[in-house]
Amino acid sequence: MFTTHRVKRLALVLPTVAALVAGVGACSGGDDDPNSLTLIAANSPWAEGIKVLAEDYKAETGITVKVDTYSNEQLNDTYKVKLNAQSADFDLMAYQPQDVMREFSRNGWLADLSERVESDAAWNWQDFQQPARDAVTLDGAVYGVPVMTERHIMYYRADLLKDAGIEVPETLDELKAAAAKLDDPDNGVYGIAMRGARVPLVTQFSSFLYSFGGDFQDASGKATVNTPEAIAAYRFYGDLLKDSGPPGAANMGWVEASAIFAQGNAAFYLDADSQAYTFLDEANSAVTDTVAYAKFPEGPAGSLAYNIVPQAVGVNELSDKQDQAWDFLSWASNEANSKRLLNEQTAPVARQSAWDDPAATANYPEGLVDIIRNAGDGYISHDRPMLEQVARAREFVGGPAVAAIEGGDVASAAEQANTDFQALLDSER
């Protein structure tokens, strides 16, 4: 009987060993394979488009480009783990310039592409919109190719405004009045939906900050979130949500806030234009016919909203296939392919020529194309504090806005935030 147990055990052991051996054998390498490149990116329309383009690239050049995608949050975690361990497992990396470019470039993880972008006249670096080029340049060096752009716009319900006889707000004060008028919680409609969670709101708050004449930092890099303009902006943002926003606003990121608008429960929604798609998709939205777009309203200092690069693609400095990597990258971001991405994937690319081409923009929501074509003027190319420890800074500078939403003391919250923020900036000198 002992032997039958032994036989039973062997029956378990053998497949395990076989699986392990197979596992070792099935080493999916590709590192040393000169005919393959690996690109890591975040889930986005651009990444979807690249997967398609990669197939064409393979047909043309025989080089396989493997695309690994992650959600935004996991993307940065993955990079930090792999690059800290000096990994050469991947060659191209899509990243968020404002969040990590400073840090990654100073860590020596991003290859300096300045020469490459300047030297290729046919590829035409100048065709990329100015704010986009600024976004990927640090201390004179270029660390990536911008592949997506994003602006702060105002979504609104054309039907609700029309029924109430309200004109489309062109100033922030008009917006406040309109939101208050349309706020009808008893019938489940809120005046406005926006991000209210401390860290996520910072980027959307930035446009308010600029339009009130403030900024996170001044020209010399000093913290300036306690100026009268900043405090006014914080108060305004918080009051908007407090008076006309949904309950629990201080816990909302774009996911929750956009869901409220998509469901038809908000009259206004101010956030990135990249979310237009959710509202136009019948499976995702109840407002497909009633959503409309407008430029960010004017504040006391004008209409100064952000126009940023949410995704740029750089070359892993630790990779030994940098030339091939650049070849693919420049091919994928050339004029023809950019137009293709804009047209087929509605990826909001960074090339002016793509936006100027009506054929390319045919599938893009009408109201938006105008706003984007004129995005060069009056737009700010950053939407968050500019330093290495952006994440931490966001926690500080988002605090006063949360205080405003919750009806607390904004002035002292702003003082505290400024002190903390300045300390952080000092620690990086």
Partner 1 sequence: MTVASVRRRRRDRSARSVLRIAGILLVTLAFLAPLVWMLAASLKSNLEIIDPGRTFDFTPTFKNYDTVFGDQAFGPFIVNSLIVGTGSTLVALLVGVPAAYGIARYRIKNATVFVLLARIIPGVSLLIPWYFLFSQIQLVGTYLVLVLTHFFVTMPLVVAIMTSFFEGVPEELEEAAQIDGTSRIGAFARVVLPLSVPGIATATILSFIFSWNNFLFALVLSDQGTRTLPVAISNFTSYAAVDWGGLMAASVIITVPVMIIALVAQRYVVSGLTAGATKG
Partner 2 sequence: MTAQTARRRSPIDWVDANLKWLLTTPAVVAVFALIAFPIGYTVYLSLTDSARAVTRPYEFVGLDNYLYWLGDTQRFWPAVGRTAYFTGLALTLELALGLAIALLLRKTFRGQGLVRVFILLPLVATPVAVGMMWLLMFEPSIGFANVVMDWLGLPAQGWLSDKDTALNTLVFIDVWQWTPMVVLILLAGLSTLPEEPDEAARVDGANAWQRFRHITLPLLMPVIVAAAILRAIDAFKTFDIIYATKGRGGGSNNEAETLNILAYGEAFEYSQYGRASALLMLFFLLIVIVLAVLAVLRKKGNRA
Q: Which residues bind partner 1 (CB under 8 A)?
A: 1-2, 5-6, 12-13, 15-16, 19-20, 22-24, 26-29, 31, 42-45, 66-72, 74, 77-78, 81-82, 84-87, 89, 254-255, 259, 262-263, 272, 274-275, 277-278, 281-286, 310-311
Alpha-carbon distance of 245 to 183, in angstroms, equals: 8
Q: Which stretch binds partner 2 (CB under 8 A): 15-23, 154-162, 166-174, 385-393?
A: 385-393
For 57, the enclosing helix (H) or strand (E) is: helix 45-61
The full 3-state SS of 364-396, as one line of letters, equals: CCHHHHHHHHCCCCCEECCCCCCCCCHHHHHHH
Nearest distance from residue 7's CB to partner 2, in Å?
A: 16
Angle at 327 between CA 322 and CA 330, to 5 degrees: 115
Select 350 or 404, whichever has its Cβ closest to partner 2. 404
**Binding flag, residue 80, partner 2 (CB under 8 A):** yes
Q: Which of 252, 305, 380, 397 binds partner 2 (CB under 8 A)?
A: 252
Binding residue (CB under 8 A) for partner 2 from 213, 395, 411, 422: 395
221, burial (CB in 10 Å: exposed 0-12, middle 13-18, buried 19+) = middle
Per-residue binding string, partner 2, 170-189, x by CB under 8 A, is: ------------------x-
Q: Which of partner 1, partner 2, none lies near 29, with the C-beta cut-off 5 to 8 A by kind?
A: partner 1
- Residue 116 sits in the site that holds partner 2 (CB under 8 A): no
Rounded to a whole number of angstroms, the minimum distance from the CB of residue 392 to partner 1 is: 18
361 binds, among partner 1, partner 2, none (CB under 5 to 8 A by kind): none
What does the alpha-carbon distance between residue 83 and residue 80 come to, in Å, rounded to a whole number? 5
Query: Binding partner of residue 19 among partner 2, partner 1, none, CB under 5 to 8 Å per kind?
Result: partner 1
Contact with partner 2 (CB under 8 A): which of 26, 247, 282, 359?
247
**Encoded tokens for 260:** 């409220």
Tell me how far, at minimum, the Cβ of 107 lies from partner 2, in Å.
Answer: 4
Within a 10 A sphere around the Cβ of 184, how many other Cβ atoms? 15
Tokens of 336: 């023809």
Sign of the four-CA dihedral 126, 132, 134, 140? negative
Does 425 interact with partner 2 (rule: CB under 8 A)?
A: no
CB 357 within 8 A of CB 369: no
The only residue of 389, 416, 419, 422 in contact with partner 2, by rule CB under 8 A: 389
Q: Which of these, 305, 310, 312, 273, lies nearest to 291 by C-alpha position?
A: 273
Identity at 41, one-letter amino acid code: A
Residue 167: CB minimum distance to partner 1, A: 28
Residue type, 322: Q
User: From partner 2, partner 1, none, which one binds at residue 243 (CB under 5 to 8 Å depending on kind)?
Assistant: none
**b (16+ CB within 10 A) / e for 382-411:** bbbbebbebeebbbbbbbbbbbbbeeeebe
Number of residues that bind partner 2 (CB under 8 A): 37
What does the binding site for partner 2 look like in residue numbers (CB under 8 A)?
73, 76-77, 80, 83-84, 86, 103, 106-109, 188, 190, 196-199, 246-248, 250-253, 256, 259-260, 263, 265, 388-389, 391-392, 395, 398, 402
